[in-house]
Amino acid sequence: MGFEVINILTIFGSSDDVEEVVRSFNIDNGDVNTLLAPNKVKFYSDRTCPYEDLGKLSETFPDVMIRVQFAHEDLGQYVGEYFLNDGVTSKYNTPLSGSDEAYEMSILITGDDFFITDFLYGLEEDEIYEEFPEQCIRLAFKFRMVNPIFPTYILEVFEKMAVEVEDYEFASEITKAMSLQNIEQ
């Protein structure tokens, strides 16, 4: 089985109830890859989020609210979140695949920030206005990712965006990054 979907469960309830739900996953307390926090569990599933199994788990612990977040390894595709309580699903949010919101949610769930960091280093100036690179630049700006190693033309786009939204503090960070580039050249 290939690991294709990252699932993160955040469990809300009394500490005893939360501990009981976490124990139901048979997790070793030292397993930091699975147990992200005392009330947060991460696991992988093949192709889809295991809705039915999680619904049954929720019915087993009716006094516990479970926030389910899922993201496919193909960033920006098949991503969402919902809440479970006593087997009932609520607050379901699945952004449109490929949208800025889907990419943003995927990055937050998976921790994979390649498309808003490393990807930008390799962009040529004539590529930054193509649809996908432009989306990555918007996301990097939204996450306020700036690095003096980014090409100057990307930093200039960030600076323009920061001024447009009147985020002068971030514009100042960008100016510092550009001045570091000038010093290194």
Does one domain contain both 40 and 93?
yes
Does one domain contain both 23 and 74?
yes
Model confidence over 33-57: pLDDT tens digits? 788 888 999 988 887 899 999 999 9
Does one domain contain both 124 and 78?
no
- The per-residue pLDDT for 3 is 55
Last-in-domain residue among 110, 131, 160: 110
| Banded model confidence at residue 30, pLDDT cuts 50, 70, 90 | low
Does one domain contain both 25 and 56?
yes
Does one domain contain both 60 and 16?
yes
Is the pLDDT score of 20 beyond 70? yes
Model confidence over 72-117: pLDDT tens digits? 988 898 999 999 999 999 999 999 999 999 999 999 999 888 988 8
Last-in-domain residue among 110, 128, 157: 110
Does one domain contain both 133 and 72?
no
Model confidence over 113-141: pLDDT tens digits? 898 889 999 899 999 999 999 999 999 99
Does one domain contain both 132 and 180?
yes
- The per-residue pLDDT for 136 is 93
Domain tally for the chain? 2
Which residue range(s) make up the domain with 155? 113-184
- Average pLDDT for residues 141-146, to the nearest whole number? 93
Does one domain contain both 78 and 145?
no
Q: Are 180 and 149 in contact (CB under 8 A)?
A: no
Q: Which residues contact 26 (CB under 8 A, 6 or more apart)?
A: none
Does one domain contain both 138 and 96?
no
Tokens of 181: 């580039």
3-state SS, the chain, equals CCCCEEEEEEEECCHHHHHHHHHCCCCCCCCCCCEEECCEEEEEECCCCCHHHHHHHHHHCCCCEEEEEEEECCCCCCEEEEEEECCEEEEEECCCCCCHHHHHHHHHHHCCCHHHCHHHHCCCHHHCCCHHHHHHHHHHHHCCCCCCCCCHHHHHHHHHHHHHCCCHHHHHHHHHHHHHHHHHC
The two most distant CA atoms of the chain are separated, in Å, by 63
| Banded model confidence at residue 1, pLDDT cuts 50, 70, 90 | very low
Q: Are 70 and 109 in contact (CB under 8 A)?
A: yes
Does one domain contain both 18 and 94?
yes
